[in-house]
Amino acid sequence: MKRKVMAQVLVGIDADSVLAGARRFKTVLVGELARRSLAGAVEVSETGPVGPVGPGVSLVVYPRGEVYAGLEEPEIPLFVEEVLVKGRSWDRKLVPAGKAGRGPAPAPADSRRRQHYGRIVLENCGLIDPGDIHEYIGRDGYRALGEALSGSTPGGVIEKIEKAGLRGRGGAGFPTALKWRYTAAGQGEKVLICNADEGEPGTFKDRLIMEGDPHRVVEGMALAAFAIGARTGYIYIRGEYGLSLERLGKAVSDARSAGLLGRDIFGSGFDLDIELRLGAGSYVCGEETALINSMEGCRGEPRLKPPFPAESGFLGRPTCVNNVETLANVPPIVLRGPEWFRAFGTPGTPGTKVYTILGHVRRPGLVEVPMGTSLREIIFDYGGGVFPGDFKMAHLGGTAGDIMSREALDLPLAFETLQEAGHNLGSGAVLVMNESVGLPDFLACCLRFFRHESCGHCTPCRIGCRRLHESFVRLARGRGYEDELATIAGLAAGLKETAFCPMGQSVAAPIESALRYFRPELEAGVEPGRKRPRRRERGFRPAGMPGAGRT
């Protein structure tokens, strides 16, 4: 007779915990349970990332829903004894309720726009086994798709997304419904692409969504494809994301076997198949037209817009490119309605945002909070505060984002509020830095990244990033020319105005925000009286030619 399951242990498996030994931990735990004849009474399964609970192996134990973090292999017998045999809470490694971003958080001082807690995109992460389609279905998975296909129309789905006010979570914040409408109105066969080429440094939210709840992405894609009338969907995933590729690949093939992809889904006559495409290491491929070029087997350089992809994209077909997080928001909106969604976030940007908190914080990791949450709350409430040292600055939204000083800590983070303040939300990275980080050196590192990743298509970005990198290296050494800051500001403005694609234009963001908040520190890198050498016509006269070396 099968014994009744008394408890369930979910081991958080993601790229970070795997390298802390989570898979081996699970094996040893199962062994220990068998040794105590608890194999039938305690069920051990894998789940996705558990939340921002710190490094190491993390577990969720049901029925009490307790989260344990930072566990090590030698502690397993004690853990089993205390928690699973005696049924006590084991305070030593227990994460206090609310800290893991699940359950009600402590009541905030300003509850005006934050009546609602809980997660949307990550609601299943850390709760279900991402490899098991039944666990997703058991939590209302694929219900939105079933209801849409049987009782709604493509127009009906678009209308729900429009009323919900969903905006693209890739960084630009473009209204999703509008993109879908444009694509749906295009001529010929439509194509849907899920942009999983997450290359913005500091951003790994999409990886954790794909690792923790891959079926949500598949269902979101199915709904989007239904809305725009596409029969083919692609997931363009970056080459480094091995575990995401594995989990999404399994999710797509399981959905196909279950009849949730393929021909005549739910007997509605709607066909959809999803294919995975692997990137090969290029930052600019996160830009939608560059991504499309890459999918066609070309160099991943951006295309001139217009025509926009909605008109002519992949193979000249009307194409809609959506970010992973955007698509993950779609099933719950379709299922629970726009009103429910609008209860989260701000009027201009309803919903939640997934942030990755990193750098000098006590608890680096991933958190989902309502739009409008301030940097202060994210860093100090969820990230556990600055450690070591004191707060100096935060780089918001990845390398192509703004550098925020102390005075920007209380700005509500939403597309419209940040725009008003002259900032951008970006991709969701929050890189926290203490006073040990020198700004010129940090910017030199940012520009080294842009210089390397510039695709070379347009001159402002190809040459501008190189010159800017050189400037910041000089400033970091205290050897800046006396006109260095003016040159930097000019180049940044030039990039913003004239670079060919949004990637090149966004190089200006960290520079301009740094000039705005930290000008004195940059000025300190200038060597008084150091003049820029007079321009030589290098390159026009190869060495040895008459006139070479003369000014």
- Residues lying near another protein in the complex (CB under 8 A): 15-16, 18-19, 55, 198-204, 207, 238-242, 277-283, 294-301, 356, 358-360, 364-366, 395, 399, 429, 431, 433, 437, 442, 445-446, 448-449, 452-453, 455
Give the pairing of strands 230-237 and 270-278: parallel
Q: How far apart are CA 326 and CA 460, in angstroms?
A: 31
Q: Considering beta carbons, is residue 106 or 388 the nearer one to another protein?
A: 388
Q: Considering beta carbons, is residue 294 or 513 the nearer one to another protein?
A: 294
Q: Considering beta carbons, is residue 221 or 433 the nearer one to another protein?
A: 433
Provide the 3-class DSSP secondary structure of residue 327: helix
Q: Distance of alpha carbon 93 from its chain centroid, rounded?
A: 28
- Kindly report the number of other CB atoms within 10 A of residue 297's CB atom: 7
State how far the alpha carbon of 13 is from the alpha carbons of 56, 101, 198, 210, in Å: 10, 17, 20, 12
We find the least distance from the C-beta atom of residue 476 to another protein, in angstroms, to be: 12
Please state the length of the chain: 551
Q: How far apart are CA 98 and CA 388, in angstroms?
A: 23
Q: Considering beta carbons, is residue 202 or 372 the nearer one to another protein?
A: 202
Question: Is the preceding omega at residue 331 within 30 degrees of 0, hence cis?
Answer: no
Q: How far apart are CA 14 and CA 374, in angstroms?
A: 27
We find the least distance from the C-beta atom of residue 411 to another protein, in angstroms, to be: 21
Q: Any idea which residue has 């942009």 for tokens?
A: 195
In this structure, are residues 291 and 324 in contact, taking their beta carbons and an 8 Å threshold? no
We find the least distance from the C-beta atom of residue 295 to another protein, in angstroms, to be: 7
Q: Considering beta carbons, is residue 181 or 474 the nearer one to another protein?
A: 474
Strand partners, 61: 9, 66
Going by C-alpha positions, the residue among 250, 249, 275 that lies closest to residue 262 is: 275
- Kindly report the number of other CB atoms within 10 A of residue 4's CB atom: 7
Q: Considering beta carbons, is residue 68 or 449 the nearer one to another protein?
A: 449
Quick one: DSSP state of residue 407? G
In this structure, are residues 200 and 431 in contact, taking their beta carbons and an 8 Å threshold? no
We find the least distance from the C-beta atom of residue 66 to another protein, in angstroms, to be: 22
Give residue 437's identity as a one-letter amino acid code: V
Q: Which long-range contacts (CB under 8 A, 24 or more apart) does 527-530 make?
A: 527/478, 527/479, 527/480, 527/481, 527/482, 528/482, 529/482, 530/479, 530/480, 530/481, 530/482
Q: Considering beta carbons, is residue 212 or 364 the nearer one to another protein?
A: 364
We find the least distance from the C-beta atom of residue 510 to another protein, in angstroms, to be: 9
Give residue 456's identity as a one-letter amino acid code: G
In this structure, are residues 119 and 101 in contact, taking their beta carbons and an 8 Å threshold? yes
Q: How far apart are CA 198 and CA 236, in angstroms?
A: 10
In this structure, are residues 177 and 161 in contact, taking their beta carbons and an 8 Å threshold? yes
Q: Considering beta carbons, is residue 71 or 83 the nearer one to another protein?
A: 71
Q: Considering beta carbons, is residue 51 or 372 the nearer one to another protein?
A: 51
We find the least distance from the C-beta atom of residue 164 to another protein, in angstroms, to be: 29
Q: Considering beta carbons, is residue 260 or 321 the nearer one to another protein?
A: 321
Give residue 438's identity as a one-letter amino acid code: G
In this structure, are residues 443 and 519 in contact, taking their beta carbons and an 8 Å threshold? no
Q: Considering beta carbons, is residue 106 or 297 the nearer one to another protein?
A: 297
Copy the structure tokens of residue 543: 């060495």
We find the least distance from the C-beta atom of residue 113 to another protein, in angstroms, to be: 28
We find the least distance from the C-beta atom of residue 317 to another protein, in angstroms, to be: 13
Quick one: DSSP state of residue 360? S
We find the least distance from the C-beta atom of residue 291 to another protein, in angstroms, to be: 12
We find the least distance from the C-beta atom of residue 174 to another protein, in angstroms, to be: 24
We find the least distance from the C-beta atom of residue 434 to another protein, in angstroms, to be: 9
- Kindly report the number of other CB atoms within 10 A of residue 74's CB atom: 9
Element (DSSP H or E) covering residue 138:
helix 133-138
Q: Considering beta carbons, is residue 282 or 352 the nearer one to another protein?
A: 282
Q: Considering beta carbons, is residue 228 or 366 the nearer one to another protein?
A: 366
We find the least distance from the C-beta atom of residue 514 to another protein, in angstroms, to be: 12
We find the least distance from the C-beta atom of residue 230 to another protein, in angstroms, to be: 17
In this structure, are residues 368 and 391 in contact, taking their beta carbons and an 8 Å threshold? no
